[in-house]
């Protein structure tokens, strides 16, 4: 299918496609050029986030999609680089147009986190309520999940599977099926057989990684042993990601959760290529992936200073103006 070379906000999504936009491909280390973990998925009329790391809400608003259209967030685990943008997305969404509750799915312990969020921002919400004259949209609805089907409604099925991250284990990956397409999101994990089992026949696999340890140790000033513990014990080296891809054979494989500096992507790709020759990308923020009969990977062309988009049906001007 012929597409524009770049993705511009507002591009229609064909009914038989899934569109995946990387809103955050980074790590717990805050960087201006790379937000922390967050993936935006659109398919079968659904729009939702997988994780919501710090920095990601600003990448979301750059897509100029009304907050009101996104009422679901699925969390893989509770590390700050995966939930640290949730408060901004929640309250920013309410104050800029969402009038329905924000629904959060997460592993055991998510309800407690949500209760704490609500306590932390009690004063915030009360003061804003007086300005906006409504609490509608300020509610958080939390559902805790276990391994298995988390969501199965209106043409969207999301299944959680246990992965192997930091003990005590409470981290999941997701298999998402909609519009006749399938994507798998690893969350955070080292090489995990359960992921490989759940990732068979996927169109797209977004797998976490960390830079090759020699580079990571040198750049980040970590002793090799510490670099190993981080990059290869609780995360997956690019070499191991290549091995996972060889066992799953997606139509497209993508690495996220990795320092993606120019001098890292080459060595990382070389490691991937030791075992895998299929189509592969190192993710960067605002990479847009359309999964249809073909798969396209394009950069989004966005404004760094977008204005809020009015809620659906209330545009006074076309989006983007």
Q: Which of residues 68-87 bind Zn ion (CB under 5 A)?
A: 79, 81
Closest separation in Å from C-beta 77 to Zn ion: 6
Residue 42: alpha-carbon gap to chain centroid: 12
- 188 is a contact residue toward Zn ion (CB under 5 A): yes
Cβ nearer to Zn ion, comparing 12 with 167: 167
Minimum CB distance to Zn ion smaller for 42 or for 81: 81
Residue 188 neighbours by CB distance under 10 Å = 25
Q: Which is nearer to Zn ion, 81 or 164 (CB)?
A: 81
- Least separation in angstroms between residue 195's CB and Zn ion is 14
The stretch near Zn ion (CB under 5 A) out of 130-138, 187-195, 214-222, 263-271 is: 187-195
For the CB of residue 185, give the shortest distance to Zn ion in the complex, in Å. 12
* DSSP helix/strand/coil, 16: coil
Restricted to residues 155-184, the positions that interact with Zn ion (CB under 5 A) are none
The phi and psi torsions of 144 (rounded to 5 degrees) equal -90, 140
Site size for Zn ion, by CB under 5 A?
Answer: 3
Nearer of residues 181 and 257 to Zn ion, judged by Cβ: 257
Any idea what DSSP says for residue 210?
A: -
Query: Could you tell me which residues are beta bridge partners of residue 161?
Result: 173
Give 68 or 206: the residue with its C-beta nearer to Zn ion.
Answer: 206
Least Å distance between CB 82 and Zn ion?
Answer: 6
CA-closest candidate to residue 287, choices 15, 62, 48, 28: 62
| Peptide bond connecting 168 to the previous residue in cis, omega within 30 degrees of 0 | yes
Give the nearer residue to Zn ion in terms of CB position, either 95 or 170.
170
Cross-strand bridge partners of residue 185? 174, 206
Closest approach, Cβ 74 to Zn ion, in A, equals: 15
Q: Is the Cβ of residue 38 or residue 158 nearer to Zn ion in the bound state?
A: 38
* Shortest distance, position 298 Cβ to Zn ion, whole Å: 25
Q: For residue 260, what are its two tokens?
A: 């993606």
Structure tokens at 22: 């990387």
Distance in angstroms (rounded) separating the CA atoms of residues 235 and 224: 15
The least distance separating Zn ion from the CB of residue 49, rounded to whole angstroms, comes to: 15
Q: Write the DSSP assignment of 94-145 as a string of letters.
A: HHTT--SPEEEEESTTHHHHHHHHHHHTHHHHHHHHHHHS--TT--EEEEE-
Task: Decide: is 51 part of the binding site for Zn ion (CB under 5 A).
Answer: no
For residue 243, give the nearest of 194, 269, 276 by alpha carbon.
276
User: What residues numbered 85-144 form the site for Zn ion, per CB under 5 A?
Assistant: none
Provide the binding-site residues for Zn ion, judged by CB under 5 A.
Answer: 79, 81, 188
């Amino acid at each position: 299918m012929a597409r524009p070379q770049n993705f511009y906000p507002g591009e229609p999504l064909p009914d038989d496609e899934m569109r995946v936009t990387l809103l955050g491909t980074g790590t717990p280390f805050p960087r201006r050029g790379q937000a922390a973990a967050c993936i935006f998925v659109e398919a079968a009329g659904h729009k939702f986030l997988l994780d919501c790391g710090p920095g990601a809400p600003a990448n979301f608003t750059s897509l100029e999609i009304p907050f009101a259209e996104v009422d679901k967030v699925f969390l893989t685990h509770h590390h700050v680089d995966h939930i640290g943008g949730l408060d901004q997305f929640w309250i920013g969404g309410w104050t800029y147009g969402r009038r329905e509750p924000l629904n959060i799915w997460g592993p055991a312990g998510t309800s407690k986190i949500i209760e704490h969020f609500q306590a932390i921002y009690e004063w915030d919400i009360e003061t804003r309520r007086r300005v906006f004259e409504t609490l509608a949209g300020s509610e958080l609805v939390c559902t805790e999940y276990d391994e298995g089907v988390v969501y199965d409604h209106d043409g969207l099925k999301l299944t959680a599977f246990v992965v192997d991250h930091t003990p005590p284990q409470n981290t999941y990956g997701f298999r998402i099926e909609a519009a006749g397409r399938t994507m798998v999101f690893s969350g955070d994990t080292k090489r995990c057989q359960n992921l490989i089992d759940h990732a068979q026949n996927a169109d797209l696999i977004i797998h976490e990684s960390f830079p090759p340890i020699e580079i990571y140790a040198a750049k980040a000033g970590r002793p090799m042993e510490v670099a190993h513990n981080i990059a290869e014990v609780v995360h997956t080296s690019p070499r191991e990601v290549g091995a996972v891809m060889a066992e799953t054979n997606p139509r497209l494989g993508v690495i996220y959760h990795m320092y993606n500096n120019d001098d890292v992507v080459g060595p990382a790709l070389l490691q991937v290529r030791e075992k895998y020759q299929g189509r592969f990308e190192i993710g960067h923020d605002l990479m847009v992936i359309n999964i249809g009969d073909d798969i396209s990977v394009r950069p989004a062309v966005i404004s760094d200073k977008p204005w809020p988009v009015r809620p659906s049906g209330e545009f006074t001007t076309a989006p983007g103006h």
